[in-house]
Amino acid sequence: MRIVSFLMLLGFLCLAGSTQAQADAISTYFGQYVDDERFTVVYISPKMFQMIDKLSIDFDEESSEAMKDVVKDLRGLRILVADEGAQGLYQEAIQKINTTEYELLMTVRNKSEDDMQFLIKDEGDIVNELLMIIGSEDNFVLMSFVGNIDLEKVAKLSESFEEQD
Amino acid sequence: MKITLIALGMLMSILCVQAQTPSVERFFEKYNGYEDSFEISLQGWMLKGASLFAEDDVSKQLMRKISKLRVLIMDEGSLVSKQEVGRLLKNVRGQQFEDLMEIRDEGNNINFLIREDNNRITNVLMLLKGDEEFMLISLEGLLKFEDLNRLEINVTGGDHFKKVPKNRRDVPRA
């Protein structure tokens, strides 16, 4: 048990220490898709989040405060989107993600047949990574937020989006 | 001779805290004479002159803080190979450039990088490589963070600057 916690601590330190190489789910499990043309890949660096924090970027007013709150603790964001083979990719994704590392937070299935899974990777009280996997008929989205994520703030943020619909 | 020059150039870039980036400059020089390339380089008084055409005070002030603007546009994206782009990125990252954002979508690759010095942004680099176009924008100056937000360039690349993925659209609606 001690060895496991030592290894976890080491892993956490590596994650905290490295600026370039981020050990997020997309890099780890879906690295091969990064160069695949079928996918749209977005990467927002820690530097960008630092800058967003320093700037007062104009989001929609309602979600602005909530957004700022969540964003200031983020270190990085990776997004992977595919239009083709969405269902298959979704299945592949859920199977690949190691459930010892990532804890399933929530699953959502709604009437228009979107499947969604939210997973987190945490160290004690701190959530280091929030992973969203979405599979619908023609859309597969994988989003990985890395940082010090406070789930309460995320909840507030999604509430503010709901209010806008 | 060439090697000496390159070595000298690299040495200089390490010794001086200068806004110039040898690898970026070399890249511009290389594609300078190509038929399908369009290059524009504004600096010093020409840039200040361009600031007179700025529509509002904000843009005017902003342009005054930019010391050099260099743009390279090609209608044919394949003139620049992926390896070359990769090499350029690797070089600038080794020269204190930090990635801000990277987007790859349908054969188009966009990279945003900046270089800072003492909490001021000294360089901004935007690279767009697509199948049908290539664009490189290099900006040198002394910008504070707030300034970058308001940056508006009247080149077709301007809207790429604003193309910060709006997280909102990526957030799933449950």
Per-residue pLDDT of chain A in tens (165 residues, 90 and over written 9): 676 666 665 655 544 444 445 578 888 888 888 778 888 999 999 988 888 777 655 555 666 777 777 778 888 999 999 988 888 888 888 888 877 788 888 888 887 778 888 899 888 778 899 999 999 888 899 999 999 888 788 777 777 766 654
Number of domains in chain A: 1
Query: B44-52 and B57-65 helices cross at what angle (nearest 10)?
Result: 180
Q: Is residue B7 part of a domain?
A: no
pLDDT attached to residue B153: 36
A41: nearest CB among B98, B104, B173: B104
Find where tokens 């546009």 sit.
B73
Q: Is residue A40 part of a domain?
A: yes
Q: Is residue B169 part of a domain?
A: no
In 3-state terms, what secondary structure has residue A143? strand
pLDDT attached to residue A16: 44
Q: Is the pLDDT of residue B60 over 90?
A: no
Question: What are the beta bridge partners of residue B116?
Answer: B121
B174: nearest CB among A37, A60, A108: A108
Backbone angles phi, psi at A157, to 5 degrees: -65, -45
pLDDT attached to residue B135: 93
Inter-chain touch A41–B167, beta carbons under 8 Å:
no
pLDDT attached to residue A141: 92
Q: Is residue B142 part of a domain?
A: yes
- Residues B150-173: tens digit of each pLDDT: 554 333 333 444 444 444 444 444
> Parallel, antiparallel, or unpaired for β A126-135 and B98-105?
unpaired
Taking the Cβ of residue A143 and every Cβ of chain B, the question of whether any pair is shorter than 8 Å is answered with: yes
Q: Is residue B43 part of a domain?
A: yes
Find where tokens 């902003």 sit.
B62
Distance CA A29, CA A137 (A): 22
**Which residues in chain B are contacts of A55 at CB distance < 8 A?**
145-146, 148-149
How far A1 CA sits from the closest chain B CA (Å)?
Answer: 37
How far B51 CA sits from the closest chain A CA (Å)?
Answer: 23
Number of domains in chain B: 1
Which residue in A16, A21, A24 sits closest to A142, CA to CA?
A24
**95-114 of B, contacting A, C-beta below 8 A:** 98-107, 112, 114
Report yes or no: A151 and A127 within 8 Å, Cβ to Cβ. yes
Question: Is the complex ipTM more than 0.85?
Answer: no
Question: Which residue range(s) make up the domain with B43?
Answer: 19-156
Q: Is A31 exposed, middle or buried (0-12, 13-18, 19+ CB in 10 A)?
A: exposed
Inter-chain touch B106–A37, beta carbons under 8 Å:
yes
Contacts of B85 (CB under 8 A, 6+ apart): B109, B127, B129
Q: How many Cβ atoms from other residues are within 10 Å of residue A6's Cβ?
A: 10
Inter-chain touch A161–B114, beta carbons under 8 Å:
no
**Which residues in chain B are contacts of A40 at CB distance < 8 A?**
103-106
Inter-chain touch A44–B101, beta carbons under 8 Å:
yes
pLDDT attached to residue A142: 92
Report yes or no: B71 and B127 within 8 Å, Cβ to Cβ. no
- Mapping DSSP onto H, E and C, the string for A4-39 reads HHHHHHHHHHHHHHCCCCCCCHHHHHHHHHCCCCCE
Q: Is residue B10 part of a domain?
A: no
How far A5 CA sits from the closest chain B CA (Å)?
Answer: 32
- Mapping DSSP onto H, E and C, the string for chain B reads CHHHHHHHHHHHHHHCCCCCCHHHHHHHHHHCCCCCEEEEEEEHHHHHHHHHCCCCHHHHHHHHHEEEEEEEEECCHHHCCHHHHHHHHHHHHCCCCEEEEEEEECCEEEEEEEEEECCEEEEEEEEEECCCCEEEEEEEEEECHHHHHCCCCCCCCHHHHCCCCCHHHHCCCC
Taking the Cβ of residue A111 and every Cβ of chain B, the question of whether any pair is shorter than 8 Å is answered with: no
Tokens representing B41 are 């380089």
Question: Which residue range(s) make up the domain with A90?
Answer: 21-164
Which residue in A25, A154, A147 sits closest to A76, CA to CA?
A147
Q: Is residue B74 part of a domain?
A: yes
Q: Is residue A82 part of a domain?
A: yes
Helix (H) or strand (E) holding A69: helix A61-71
pLDDT grade for B18, boundaries at 50, 70 and 90: low
Q: Is residue A13 part of a domain?
A: no
**Which residues in chain B are contacts of A54 at CB distance < 8 A?**
145-146
Q: Is residue B172 part of a domain?
A: no
Q: Which residue of B has its CA nearest to A46?
A: B100
* CATH label of the domain that carries residue B121: 3.40.1000
**Which residues in chain B are contacts of A47 at CB distance < 8 A?**
98-100, 114
Distance CA A153, CA A155 (A): 5
